Structures are given as C-alpha cells and as structure tokens.
Structure 1
Amino acid sequence: MTAPWRWIPPLEADGALQMALDDWLLDQALAGGPPVLRLYGWSRPTLSLGFHQRRLESHWPSLAAAGRLALVRRPSGGRAVLHEPEQAGLTYALVQRPAQANRPRAYADSCRWLQRAFRELGQPLAMGRAAARAEAPLQRASCFATSTAADLVHANGAKRIGSAQLWRQGTLLQHGSLLLAPSETLWREVFGEAPTPLPPLGLGGHELLTLLRRCAEQDLCAGGLQEQPLGGEEWAAVQARAERYRWPAAGASLVSSAPEATSPLATMARAT
C-alpha cells in the first residue's frame, strides 16, 4: 500500500523561515521521511532569488533598505519571484523521491494536480514552451517574464504558475508560485512594468486551498494526504537554519546577466 504524503497546514511566515522549512523537509525526506506537500503565504512583501541567480538589480537592495520588501535566497533555482501577503499569490512546495530523476518528466508529473484544478475552474493551463513576451533587460531577472517547460501558462501565453527544482541525492524539492492578484505598484517598483493581466479565479482563498488539496490527492499524492503540523523540535530545527536564506542588505554582488538561451529545455535546465 502506498504511504500517505505529509500535509503541513498552510501558514504565513517570514520568507527566510519558509525557505529554511522547505530545505529542512528535503533533508528529512533524504533521512527516510515521507513525501510532503504544503501551500503557504508570506508575512511581508518578499523578493525570493533563485539559488544560482546572479543578476541582481541595483535598486533591489535599496527597496529592501527602505522597508518595501525583504530579500531571500531560495534553495531551488529559477529567477526572482515577488511574493506578497494576503490574496496576491500562493506558494507550493513538494518533496518527494520520483521514480526516475528526469527533470522534464518530474515537472510534468508534479504539475498535473495544478492543471486539474485550473481545468475545473474553466481556465486550463499548459506547460510553457516559449517566451511569454519580448521583455526588457530588467524583466529577464523576473521568473514571470518568460515561460519554459517548467511553467504553466494560459492559452494566451500569460504565465500563471512558475516552478523551480532542487535535486539532492535523487530526492526532489519543487517550488512553485501561483500568481493571483499582485500589486501593480510594487511590481512596477521591482520589475519596471506592470504584471501580465490574469483572469480572476472567481473563488476565495479558502475555496482555492480546498480545491488544490483535493486535486493533489487525486493526481499527485497516491497514498493521500495526512495532516501533520510541525512540532516544537521541528520548528527549532527550521529556525536554526533560517539565517542562511536571508539576503544581506550590504555586500550583495551585482552582476549583468549572460545572454539568454532560446531553447525551453535549456532554459529549464539552467533554472533548476
């Protein structure tokens, strides 16, 4: 019989703590723990940077110093993602050991539950295959400026969900950001233009969480989901590693981006 996945109830917390928790969950899976799925929010506006991302805009530390947002590193790859509290967006993290360490296959399999959910909402999503639009240099630093085979897009090319991976000894941590209603003002401050318009979902936050959990049980978690909040010792272990994900306001290295790869699979490989 297939063992159930661990479901950690949704929580809103500091970005560094959220990243430390996902990294810790990956280590637990390597030590024999169960696969995990969780959905969560951010307690303040935060710009998360992909682990290998070296293109940092000079005004980002200034925005952080002014208190407009926090900067954190993700353990997973990809480009910068702007996260906001409340109804602006939702993040998912899943940890599992796929049958085979094939990145394109893992993305397809790990996103099927999200595609089911949006089909039920009458807004089917497909895996991205090309750039969503021609972007200015600043936009190339944004996860949502392009769509690759790692992402889910609407029929018109608008990117709804961006995902990235971290593989460790055959075990996968996959992050994804589900864009709902981002702040146009903050998005312009960070990326230099407004976010791509997205159709409204027509349901509240609790309804969306319920839908996503049900679809995950159908298309992702073969053994079902077993709710298990974090215990005190677990929280202590997570808090002990949170500082490694905070981006220092001083001393950040600012470098120009390299030319972009045109192949979706090549881009995806670099972003994981």
Structure 2
Amino acid sequence: MPTAASCLPISPGRGRLISPLRLSGPEQMALDEVLLESYQADAKPLPTLRFYQWNGPWLSLGRNQRHWPEHWNALATRGDLELVRRPSGGSAVLHAGGLTYALIWPSPPRQRQQAYKQACQWLIRGFKELELPLQFGDHPARGASESNCFATATAADLVDSQGHKRIGSAQLWRQGHLLQHGEIILNPPQRLWREVFDCEPPSDAPASIPREELSHLLQITFRSCWPEVNWQESPITNDEWSSVANKAPNYEVLLDASGCSTNPPETIDSTTLGSAIPRG
C-alpha cells in the first residue's frame, strides 16, 4: 500500500466516482468546470475522479493558446476533427484513441509542481501494475511556443522508460481547489496525428495495457490508495447537467465561412482561473 507521502493527502470521509461518459468536447470541458465550481458552494467538498472519452476526434486548445496553425481550422471545416477550448492551460491535445481523466481535489498543496507530483502518483502506480513504468518528464515548460502538448514532456507529464510521453496533464485552480485533467495515449490515429501536428504520432501503448477495462482498473488503483475514504459512484445531477448546458457554449471554437476562428479565448469567463493560481 502506498505511504501517505506517495498519495494525495485526502482526509477520511466520502469521495465521488463518476462513471465514464462520452460527450462532445464543450460538454466535457464544461462538466469538468462545473464539478470544480461545485466545491465553492460545498462546506465539505468531495474529492472526485472521472474518466471519459469523446464523441469523435477533438483537438483541445489550452485556455491561453491564442495562435495555432491555420490548417487546423481547415481540418475542422472539412470535418476531420472538431476544435474545443479547454479551461486549463497548456498546448493542443488530440483526443482520439485515448482515455481522458479528470481529478478534482479540494485541498492540494499550494506549490504547483508538488501538486502535480502528488496528483499523478496513482497513475504511476496503476501503470506500473500494468507493466508500463512511468516517470515524470524533465523538459522545461515552453509555454505557448509549442502548439503540440505531446511534443515535450515537462515535470507535469509522465513518460515511459524510453522517454516517450504517455500522459499529458493540465491544471485549473479556483479558490484553492484544483482540477487536473489529462490525456492517456493508447492508440493515436496515425494519419490524423500527422495531418494535425506534421510529425510522427506516439507509439501505441503496450499490449499489456487493456483498452476496454483501463478506466475500471485505474479506478481500483485510485481507490486502493485511500482505503479510509468511502468512494461512491455518483451520477451527474440534474442541476449539474443544467450548468453544463449553460457553460458548454463558452468552450466552442466557432469558425466562419473562411475557416477563421470567430470567438477568441476571452469568451471564457476570466474568473475561471480565479485569483489563487499557485506559482512554481
């Protein structure tokens, strides 16, 4: 069993698990924000974990990613993929043939790198049990200068023994609470990846990684880290779905007839990031 130092310091009590959902990009991003937002109104917010997939190929843009290759708009206009804006930072991620996770954590460490390291320990442990040892990347963050999230592996990302990035994560902070969501690379579509990023795609995950049961197996690992927490499956409530419907349009990337974006990132409420973003 992991030591307290190797897992998230979550107080004994209840925790929330949400069954995998396959939704549109704006709906997925809005739901992640809604789950984080609910912490503000709850005196005892529940740590929450969910996995999800997307209804078709989506390219998510980091909240502050204001510039991207023009041919991405052309690919979207042609129907090869759809564009969505993330509430979190970082560079573009192609969501296709992978698995996305979202962890909402009530009281993370205030130091950002420490929060990343603690928030990823269950992933490291889970993939080690699946015969894919992972460790943190060691490249410095390059901000918006790199349009492809998987082109570099920073200390916030997980790489395999060959240095290939397998999991890329990004964070959104609000009033001291944390949303960390990330993409687990499994079977990236080779042709589409080359068209989007003009480079070779990451290799497929090893055969030892089960595709269909992966979210279930990782959830078991997650729960085993904190046996003192009563983890319960909890569906999305009607009020949460209503909030998702209201927020989802904020994450759409709309294109005009010429294939140009008509809604800049400022369409996302600036309070999304809150005033308490840790540094370091």
TM-score category (smaller protein): 0.7 to 0.9
TM normalised by structure 1 equals 0.85
SS at match of 2:31: helix
Which of 84, 93, 99 aligns to 2:102? It is: 93
Match of 1:30 in 2: 40
* Mapped contact 1:5–1:221 kept (Cα < 8 A): no
Change (3 A) 1:62 1:48: same
Does 2:92 align with 1:80? Answer: yes
In structure 2, distance between residues paired with 1:160 and 1:199:
8
CA–CA separation in structure 2 for the residues paired with 1:189 and 1:91: 22
Whether 2:131 is the aligned partner of 1:122: answer yes
What is the total number of aligned residue pairs between the two structures?
Answer: 250
Q: Deviations for 1:104-127, whole angstroms, at most 9, x for unmatched residues?
A: 111011000100111111211001
Percent of pairs with identical residues: 46
Q: Does 1:20 align with 2:30?
A: yes
The more displaced of 20-29 and 222-231 is 222-231
Contact 2:108 2:176 in 1 (8 A): no
For 1:5 and 1:55, how far apart are their aligned partners in 2?
39
Give the Cα–Cα distance (whole angstroms) in 1 for the partners of residues 128 and 255 of structure 2.
42
Q: State whether residues 132 and 206 of structure 2, in contact with CA within 8 Å, keep that contact through their aligned partners in structure 1.
A: no
What displacement does 1:199 show?
4.0
Q: How does 1:185-200 map onto structure 2 within 5 Å? A: 185-200=191-206
Q: Deviations over 1:235-271 (max 9, x none)?
A: 1221111000001113528xxxxxxxxxxxxxxx99x
Q: How far off is 1:197 after superposition?
A: 1.8
RMSD of the alignment, in Å? 2.5
Q: Partner residue of 1:181?
A: 187
Deviation at 1:2, TM superposition (A): 1.4
Q: Which amino acid is the alignment partner of residue 48 of structure 1?
A: S
Q: CA separation of 1:58/1:118 partners in 2, compared to 1, >3 Å: closer, same or farther?
A: same
Tell me which moved more, 163-172 or 206-215: 206-215
Unaligned runs of 5+ in 2: 1-10, 263-277
**CA distance 1:245–1:121, change in 2 (3 Å):** same
* Counterpart secondary structure, 2:213: helix
Q: 1:248 and 1:25, CA in 2 relative to 1: closer, same or farther beyond 3 A?
A: same
What secondary structure does 2:13 align onto? coil
Q: In the alignment, what sits opposite 2:70?
A: 58
Task: State the distance in 1 between where 2:35 and 2:113 align.
Answer: 22
Q: Distance in 2 between matches of 1:126 and 1:204?
A: 20
For the structure 1 residues 203 and 122, does the alpha-carbon distance in structure 2 shift closer, same or farther, using more than 3 Å as the test?
A: closer
Distance in 2, matches of 1:157 and 1:125, equals 9
Give distance in 1, aligned partners of 2:150 and 2:167: 8
Matched residue SS, 1:37: strand
Tell me by how many angstroms 1:36 deviates.
1.1
